[in-house]
Chain A
């Protein structure tokens, strides 16, 4: 009797909830097939879809050279090998927990302090967010998440947990800020659909927006979850990527300022973004709820951090001088890279959402859409990947409610590569503006022979965007300065 393909596997294994069929990954495949290299493949696809922090490695490399004892593999460090290799206690190395707690406090400018006893390990932030879902929600329960949001939440929060994600749409009209109304609406919709909402998860700083949450909005949010008695999970994995004011306001500060049930407050952290160490799988769950800490710690058995890595990081992160230097230099480098990129975009009339954090910008390409629809966005995206040869991430993969936005990463490349990317963008915008203008001219002068029939494959269909009203010559379209100059 043959066990064919997926026929004898679990429902989980046979579903598509691993999320890898999304566009987010399609772009990666295009990159993998033709990756840019300055000398070996200068015409290849430039990877701008990967939020990695590669700007400050020299500092770490320098520290490693000066601190060989931090590694259990060097002659200076090998005497610690036996004890470390044997250490599998899910509490984690005390010196590691202490160092991480201190580091988290430093990142928040000393405005909050963290208790090492509440630090629980997980397999990267991926493992940490999933773990919290297992602790806080049952199969079928719902978790609110403001959109646009990190695409892999679909997999991380839902796949094995069976939790449902309910998006709280944020709109460009108010710079994608979270509003009380949108929260109330989302909560009410869930109630009507008979879905039990167990919590809300936010990323602060936001991915993909690159913005930090302002205090007033944050207080509103905490009040909301407190009133509804639902959990709040704050994914603060980009906390040290804030490169400009306003400074980060962490949930750890807010709860000192307003009254709330602390048992509802949980933080996800990681070193993958702030320190550029995604390979080390350093995920942290920090909860103000004792029962959650206890449960999470037991669950961490499924994703503990290698003791070799704990030992190394304990050493590095407890070097206060290094940490201070790293945090300030990293922020500076991110600011420079961000400014270089956004200025280059501005020169060709492309605007980005104003941001103060993250490893990416949220780019507004609505003016370049041939149609203000998600299909239009996808067409534009395919052109950017295929012709302009940049892997950028389309807003629809972030569950953005309106088409035309793209997340573009800037911290995973050197300045030369960025200049090449900007050059390609410049060339493309000039071509496109001409074309879009032509198309728009034609549409204005031709009779409306057929309506906007869209054979839609995208799941992100949004009625307001496909309304004929959007293409009327009387509707003010968002236009880049470049377009204005030509009409």
Chain B
């Protein structure tokens, strides 16, 4: 019935579709592929690649499971509320969910900041939240300033469909990658010299990949800078619940509250449950803005990326249970701290130093002494070696736009302690073979 299939010359897709800005050709993703082909398994493939490139939190899952087992009879009684919930597509999001999120965020900050549920906008993950904010704060061709090293996914999330540029704020190991006034000014000047309009600064606090919180005076300095330049500040605080001690994490929200919210209209916070609660599959992201116009616009835009009402309902229950949340936050911090100490001391025994960290699901490891030449190419060679011979997928600093070669991000919370021991052993053997152990 169908005529002989004709040959068609391919019709062009959009520029966005054919661009490489999705970033998936970077080493960050190449390592995953090697892992996928030969994943480590304690029993069936003890020679496989150990995934240390994925910042996931699996150390406290049992607490969530315990909560569910205790409450599943209640939460699971879904037939009776099903209809109402299935119909709920209001882009304001479930009020109970927003209240629970606001309360959870307050608890993480030790009560040092208050969050108004009506300023919370829901999005399907922090990925969507960051992109959405970029659409609202900047026009195509404009720029956001981001301190390096930064999360590789930002290249896609902030730039791909928005057409916005990222200009790096270069941070150096000599002062522990602190964001200095000079580095901010320098990045801003770079933009000006290219005739690019800077619309804001985006920081991740606690930092990915550094695994460290940003100190209060530094935050104040950044706030002073954005105020002076009359630009926005986005603070991605998705690792806030993963700071090892509540006292060491200072959120921008605390600083604003202490100043009675002066200049707060330029500040916006991104949060998610993917890291702190280990629920990346649920796509739970939020934007918190002190700017009513941003809240209103973000809410409208969230139509493209709402959170499933089923998931909102589940989390509203879970996060409004203070007994659960307080115990979870405390225990999670303790376990992450212990895990980090384990990997840092293990690395030290192998002659490897890490940046002093106090948060997150990873540590920032310095393999610079191992480089033949202090270049990006040599770093990638070392990375490939570690991937194929040591069989560890770790993330090279260059994929995080680090200006100094030789740094690597190593995740420690997405595996069991036993697997971590195996990984440390492999590193130790590798370093021994190079006569580099202390």
Binding site for B on A (CB under 8 A): 1-3, 5-6, 8-13, 18, 20, 52, 54, 57, 60-61, 64-65, 68, 71, 73-75, 77-78, 81-82, 84-88, 123-124, 126-127, 130, 134-139, 141, 155-156, 159-160, 198, 229-231, 256-259, 261, 263-264, 272, 276-281, 291-292, 295, 298-299, 301-309, 312
Contacts and interface: CB of A to CB of B under 8 A. Distances in A.
Interface residues of B, number: 84
Given A68-B76, A73-B78, A306-B283, A256 B65 contact: no
Interface of B: 1-3, 5-6, 8, 10-11, 13-17, 22, 24, 56, 58, 61, 64-65, 68-69, 72-73, 75-76, 78-79, 82-83, 85-89, 124-125, 127-128, 131, 135-140, 142, 156-157, 160-161, 163, 199, 227-228, 230-232, 263, 265-266, 274, 278-283, 291, 293-294, 297, 300-301, 303-311, 314
Contacts of A272: 89
A126 B304 contact: yes
B127 A302 contact: yes
A6 B131 CA distance: 19
Nearest to A52: B87
Contacts of A60: 82, 86
B2 A276 contact: no
19 contacts: A3-B230, A9-B293, A12-B136, A13-B294, A18-B301, A57-B82, A73-B314, A75-B69, A78-B76, A134-B17, A138-B14, A279-B85, A279-B308, A280-B86, A281-B124, A301-B156, A302-B127, A305-B283, A308-B311
B87 A292 contact: no
A419 B305 CA distance: 37
Given A137-B14, A281-B124, A306-B283, A73 B76 contact: yes
A281 B306 contact: yes
A18 B309 contact: no
Contact of A73 (B14, B75, B232): B75
Contacts of A277: 86
Given A276-B87, A291-B10, 4 more contacts: A123-B305, A229-B11, A263-B10, A307-B282
Contacts of A82: 61, 65
A3 B311 contact: no
Given A78-B69, A84-B281, A88-B280, A303 B83 contact: no
B257 to A, nearest CB: 18
Interface centre among A123, A124, A135, A306, by most chain B C-beta atoms within 10 angstroms, is: A306
B230 A8 contact: yes
Contacts of B263: 3
Nearest to A226: B8
A77 B68 CA distance: 10
A303 B128 contact: yes
A485 to B, nearest CB: 42
A57 B81 CA distance: 11
B82 A61 contact: yes
B139 A303 contact: no
Contact of A75 (B22, B65, B76, B142): B76
A135 B16 contact: yes
A78 B64 CA distance: 11
A135 B13 contact: yes
A210 to B, nearest CB: 21
A123 B17 contact: no
Contacts of A65: 79
A13 B89 contact: no
Nearest to A135: B17
Contacts of A302: 124-125, 127-128, 131, 157, 161, 304-305
A279 B88 contact: yes
Given A259-B3, A278-B86, A231 B139 contact: no
A86 B283 contact: no
A272 B86 CA distance: 9
Nearest to B291: A3
Contacts of B128: 123, 302-303
A279 B308 CA distance: 6
A9 B301 CA distance: 14
A334 B301 CA distance: 32
Given A10-B138, A12-B139, A306 B307 contact: yes
Most buried by B among A61, A85, A307: A85
A309 B127 CA distance: 19
B266 A8 contact: yes
A268 to B, nearest CB: 13
A123 B304 contact: yes
Nearest to A122: B304
A256 B87 CA distance: 36
B279 A303 contact: no
Contacts of B163: 139
A276 B280 CA distance: 26
B310 A306 contact: yes
B391 to A, nearest CB: 22
Contact of B281 (A1, A88, A198): A88
Contacts of A263: 8, 10-11
Contacts of B278: 85-86
Most central of B56, B156, B297, B305 by chain A CB within 10 Å: B305
Contacts of A159: 301
A130 B304 contact: yes
Contact of B282 (A13, A85, A127, A292): A85
Contacts of B3: 259
Nearest to A64: B79
Contacts of B291: 3
Contact of B65 (A13, A81, A308): A81
Nearest to B134: A10
A81 B76 CA distance: 12
Nearest to B19: A295
Given A9-B137, A134-B17, A73 B72 contact: yes
Given A134-B17, A305-B283, A306-B307, A261 B79 contact: no
